[in-house]
Amino acid sequence: MRYYPRRRSFVKFVIGLLVSLLAHVEVIDLDNVPLQGGFLVTTNHVSLLDPILVFIIIPRKDVTALVAKKHQKNPLFRWVVDSVSGIWLNREEPDAHAIRAARELLQNGGVLGISPEGTRSHNGSLIPPKTGAAYLAEIAHVPVIPVAITGTHNGILRAFTLQRPHITVRFGKPFTLPPVDRRKRDADLVCNTDEIMCRIAAMLPATYHGVYAEHPRLNELLRAEEKS
């Protein structure tokens, strides 16, 4: 994986400036993010702004993300992703190269952003996820930080019509998923994926809960939060 420190700094500065001018971003519990060591950042996903916000907010120089290869068709977007050492992922079929690159990044102490849902939700609420994030956490042996983002639904359109949307980015505490038993690998990956999604959902308004609205684990997390 190539690293372009000057291009990365330039991209982060420009995007950070644009975001600050076009939107009001409230960041909550950023101190939950370790300043060293590898981990996965897992977010809900309703806009192209979501991974961009994670990139500019986390105060580390080794933050990047998995990005769908379909966006390579846009020359400017491709240049930006390459400048920040983004990992291109073919979502249409198993991508061993991307998975290997992601694992190496994490094992070398880097930070990788990923949306377990795999694609954007068009109504803002959580949609059925894939098990890729849980799988990466398992093979790289790294903790997971859940991130809940609100206000980015139609955020780009609203920003460029000078409505300056209010966006909230809330970071949860790092947690470690239980090991996957090879004898029931698929079931364990689904359970671990649900754990990630429920921790994200617990930080979101109820209107965002979507397919996890009635999940027992989410209800358990919400009850624990009420007691604390």
What are the start-end ranges of the H helices in the chain?
5-22, 49-57, 75-83, 96-107, 132-140, 155-160, 185-201, 216-227
Helix (H, G, I), strand (E, B) or coil at 220: helix
Least confident of 36-50, 61-75, 134-148, 156-170: 156-170
> Which pLDDT tens digit goes with each residue over 107-122?
999 999 999 998 889 8
Q: pLDDT confidence of 95, banded at 50, 70, 90? A: confident
Dihedral of alpha carbons 34, 115, 197, 26, sign: positive
Rounded mean pLDDT of 147-161?
Answer: 79
CB–CB of 39/174 below 8 Å? yes
CB–CB of 105/64 below 8 Å? yes
Q: From its phi and psi, is residue 95 left (phi > 0), alpha (psi between -120 and 50) or beta?
A: beta
Which domains are seen in the chain, by residue range? Answer: 5-227 (3.40.1130.10)
Helix (H, G, I), strand (E, B) or coil at 53: helix
The pTM of this model reads 0.93
**Tokens at residue 83, please?**
């400048």
The rounded distance, in Å, linking the Cα atoms of 177 and 135 is: 10
